[in-house]
Chain A
Amino acid sequence: MSDLLKVSSNPHVRSKVTTSSIMLAVVIALLPAAGFGIYNFGIDALILIAVTVGTTVITEYTYEKLMKKAVTIGDYSAVVTGLLLALNLPSSAPWWIGVLGGVFAILVVKMLFGGLGQNFMNPALAARCFLLISFTPIMNNFEVDAYSGATPLALIKGGESVNILDMVIGRTAGTIGETSMIAIIAGACFLILLGVIDLRVPGSYILSFILFICIFGSHGADPVYISAQLAGGGLMLGAFFMATDYTTRPITKKGQYIYGIFLGVLTGIFRLFGPAAEGVSYAIIIGNLLVPLIEKKTFPKAFGTKGGKAHE
């Protein structure tokens, strides 16, 4: 018999897209927001981003080495987590906040639940909420040289007026990466064009949020108020970069719409009726918990099966 050839099951060709190419695209898409954050808040922001990203990568590497598992930092998912967490921190936060948050995100939320693809909450957001509850004054301190301290959303909540143009560009107080709507949308467009994310979750999230504040927001359909609510806080960053996190959003198409609507309503409730001006992070991690239920209830009907009856 001649030399044996390689055999495998079909298909024998694969697309070029890999997990690491997807994660790398997300990192690139976050760069405008990160870059604007550094421009806006200065060197402190850069240091905090570097510390946080370094921590998440080192934590994943160390855990996998200690547990004698294959090292997976090459897939860039830890970089994405670190970057997202850093963009959700105020630039005034001390370096150890980044370290603590990074370790919590990777070790507790991601690795202890089985690593990439197994976590039931978005690691960056879970870590942010952990920090927000534990170190509230630090996490809510938005006072830096350039800004007085109150975020636009806090100003709106207090009944004061805000400059919409500044908010869209991002010249306001806030966390490092959330302030510039333009930078975030630019990154999001890049991901949509590459097919990494689609508009199902962000679209239904944002539209249902707008609808909710129009009905319950006591400003009616005031375009200035709505724009301020959209541009302010973490809504854009959350809707395009965190609600779209593959692992913690439903995999079914119908489920993604339901999930988006749920997030919009929840964010509306938190922002309008809660004590804090912001509510995106909490809305998303609560939404994360509902994902298994949503997936179960929205399981698609197979092609040609009327009424969705399983054929056995």
Chain B
Amino acid sequence: MAKLTFAGGIHPYDGKDMSKDKPIKTVFPKGDLVYPLSQHIGAPAVPIVKKGDRVLTGQKIAEASGFVSAPVYATVSGTVKAIEPRRVVNGDNVMSIVLENDEKYEEVAYSAANSLEELSKEEIIERVKQAGIVGMGGAGFPTYIKLSPKEPEKIDYVIANCAECEPYLTSDYRRMMEEPEKIVEGLKVILSLFDNARAILAIEDNKPDCIERLKKLTKNEKRISVKALKTKYPQGAERQMIYAVTGRSINSSMLPADAGCIVDNVDTVVAVYHAVMLGMPLMHRIVTITGDAIADPRNFLVRIGTNYRELVEEAGGFKKKPAKIISGGPMMGFALFDLDVPTTKTASALLCMSQDEVSQMEPSACINCGKCVEVCPGRIVPKMLSYYAEHYNEEAFLKHQGMECCECGCCSYVCPARRPLTQTIKSMRKIQLAKRSGKTNGQKKKQEV
């Protein structure tokens, strides 16, 4: 039973008007491109090129290592300059392949499929795996694993996550407005893997033009339909999305497949289409460059590995001095301390703000107002969990279901005492996940890239 929404959540200022009506512009990078070997959840990829090698656009430069992993492809032609640690969005230094761009954009030949019917299910999954596709909504979980659940016949919903509930982000919106056919074709590919499933395009109702366009496009598709969900953050969170569309609820230790669902972000669905039908690996994504510090906020089709600084220049540079730059949206994005980082498979936006309201706020005593409980989509009690985390009370933290937090940030957003609720709970979760993975050898399922 579709609920079309979920309990809890917030309505922050959405800031989408800044960039939503700007068409996607293709960017041709000029400087070096950097490819971190770990742009996904799981084992880092292993380089298969060495310094001095010449590579072409679309050539594989790093191979997946192990089951949960993904290969990496060159997105321009040029020469391998170095394989060395480089800074990524979350501040870590990650081993990366650095490519000197020769600006010729010479491409390898892709082996397009003649038709979907000719491909077996195994071939489709293999193509997705070889293309290096990972969840492009931000999680970065290898998509081929998602598409090969234990019991594919039990999957009855394929959900295209078109919510884009993060404020300021408009990349999915532009994709839906400009290339809706690719989304529908991508869904057809995924549907061919699951005989008992139907596909739902789940779109928040603040995008009526997308809803109308996709409805028109899927009018004659028996297995694909559009659902308008109520606009509320975090509607795009996987578990809230499944609940809104199907009425089924899963907890943090379950997979969407346990509820008979496959959930993929819009851009991921398009990447599946490119990989399976055109034979192209994952090389591009749409990135929103926005915020009040940006001269001309807009959406770009970006070759993965392009430096963020180049994208800012493409967007007219800064019109005000930025105080804070965030990779992703304001609710779940990472704050950067330096702009010289590469875009990755999971980079959805760069938000440049001339004011940092958060660093001016002093936390004060909790007044027990209960707003965090009210908005928590995980239906836990952030106030208590934050207290346990601050006092490093692991036992109480686990007992009170601290691991069910999805780190959406709603509790910190509403807290009138400005307490760092999300931050403390997130830290404790990270510690617990690290401990767990230490014990069970890398079986952690959910963690940011």
Chain A residues engaging chain B, CB cutoff 8 angstroms: 1-2, 4-15, 17-19, 21-22, 72, 75, 77, 115-118, 246-247, 249, 251-253, 299-305, 310-312
Contacts and interface: CB of A to CB of B under 8 A. Distances in A.
Nearest to B427: A9
Contacts of B416: 15, 17-19, 21-22
B403 A311 contact: yes
B193 interface: no
A218 B251 CA distance: 51
A310 B367 contact: no
Nearest to A300: B379
Given A117-B367, A251-B368, A1 B400 contact: no
Interface string B215-245: 0000000000000000000000001000100
Contact of B400 (A8, A72, A310): A310
12 contacts: A5-B323, A8-B356, A10-B331, A11-B331, A13-B331, A116-B365, A118-B365, A247-B367, A299-B400, A303-B251, A304-B251, A311-B252
Interface of B: 10, 12-13, 91, 167, 239, 243, 249-254, 322-326, 330-340, 351, 353, 356-359, 361, 364-371, 373, 377-381, 383-384, 398-401, 403-404, 407, 409-410, 412-418, 420, 422-423, 426
A12 B379 contact: no
Contact of B332 (A10, A19, A301): A10
B404 A311 contact: yes
B398 A19 contact: no
Q: Please list the 5 inter-chain residue pairs (A to B) with the smallest Cβ-Cβ separation, ordered nearest first.
A: A11-B409, A304-B251, A9-B423, A302-B404, A7-B335
A253 B13 CA distance: 27
A2 B384 CA distance: 40
Nearest to B383: A251
A251 B370 contact: yes
Nearest to B370: A251
A203 B357 CA distance: 37
B417 A19 contact: yes
Given A19-B417, A300-B380, A11 B369 contact: no
Given A5-B336, A117-B368, A252-B373, A18 B418 contact: yes
Interface centre among A2, A251, A303, A310 (most CB of B within 10 A): A303
A302 B367 contact: no
A312 B330 CA distance: 29
Given A117-B417, A246-B368, 10 more contacts: A5-B325, A7-B335, A11-B409, A14-B418, A246-B369, A251-B368, A300-B381, A302-B251, A303-B251, A303-B378
B172 to A, nearest CB: 19
B337 A7 contact: yes
Given A19-B367, A246-B368, A300-B380, A311 B251 contact: yes
B148 to A, nearest CB: 23
A111 B222 CA distance: 66
A73 B249 CA distance: 45
Given A5-B336, A302-B404, A12 B324 contact: yes
Interface centre among A12, A17, A246 (most CB of B within 10 A): A12
A11 B412 contact: yes
